[in-house]
C-alpha cells in the first residue's frame, strides 16, 4: 500500500513538475530568445565567418592560381617567341609546322613537370599564406 502511494506520488510530481517547468521555460524563452539569439548571431557570426572564409578562400585561390599559371608560364618561357608562334600556328592551322621543334614526347615531359611543380608550389604557397594550419573548423586554428 505504501509502495503504491509512493508510485502515485512520484507520477503526480513528475507530471506536475514537468508541466509547470515547461510552462515557465516556454514563457521565459519566448520572451528572451527573440532578442538574445539575433544579438549573439550579430556579434559572433561575422567573426566566425570571416575567419573560416579567409582561410578557405586563401587556400583555394592560391592553389587555383598556381595550377593555372604554372603550365602557361612553363610553356611560354620554355621556347623562343618565334617558335611559340610557329607551334601555335602548326597546332591551330597546320602552318609553320617545320619551324616547331616540339615533339609529343617533349610536351608529355613538360606536362608532367608542370603538374608536379604546380602541385608542390600550390601546397607550399597555400601553407605559407594560411600559416601552415589546417582548416579552422577541423581544429587547426587557421591564421
Angle between helices 104-129 and 2-77 (to 10 degrees): 130
pLDDT tens, 64-75?
A: 888 888 877 877
Percent share of the chain, pLDDT over 70 = 88
Residues 6+ apart with CB under 8 A from 85: 96
pLDDT-derived band at 136, boundaries 50, 70, 90? low
Q: Specify the DSSP class assigned to residue 142.
A: -
pLDDT-derived band at 52, boundaries 50, 70, 90? confident
pLDDT tens, 73-117?
A: 877 787 888 888 888 888 888 888 888 887 677 778 888 888 888
Is the pLDDT at 43 greater than 60? The verdict is yes
Residue 141 CA, distance from chain mean position: 14
Domain boundaries, the chain: 2-135
40-48 mean pLDDT: 79
pLDDT, the chain, mean = 78
Residues 136 and 52: beta-carbon distance below 8 Å:
yes
Is the pLDDT at 141 greater than 50? The verdict is no
**pTM given for the model:** 0.47
Among 142, 121, 115, smallest CA distance to 63 is for 121
Amino acid at each position: 500500500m505504501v509502495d503504491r502511494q509512493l508510485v502515485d506520488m512520484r507520477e503526480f510530481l513528475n507530471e506536475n513538475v514537468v508541466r509547470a517547468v515547461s510552462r515557465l521555460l516556454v514563457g521565459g524563452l519566448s520572451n528572451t530568445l527573440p532578442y538574445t539569439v539575433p544579438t549573439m548571431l550579430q556579434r559572433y557570426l561575422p567573426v566566425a565567418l570571416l575567419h573560416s572564409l579567409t582561410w578557405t578562400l586563401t587556400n583555394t585561390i592560391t592553389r587555383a592560381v598556381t595550377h593555372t599559371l604554372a603550365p602557361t608560364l612553363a610553356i611560354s618561357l620554355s621556347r623562343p617567341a618565334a617558335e611559340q608562334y610557329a607551334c601555335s600556328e602548326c597546332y591551330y592551322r597546320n602552318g609553320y609546322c617545320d619551324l616547331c621543334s616540339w615533339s609529343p614526347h617533349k610536351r608529355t615531359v613538360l606536362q608532367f613537370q608542370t603538374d608536379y611543380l604546380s602541385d608542390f608550389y600550390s601546397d607550399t604557397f597555400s601553407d605559407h599564406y594560411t600559416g601552415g594550419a589546417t582548416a579552422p573548423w577541423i581544429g587547426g586554428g587557421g591564421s
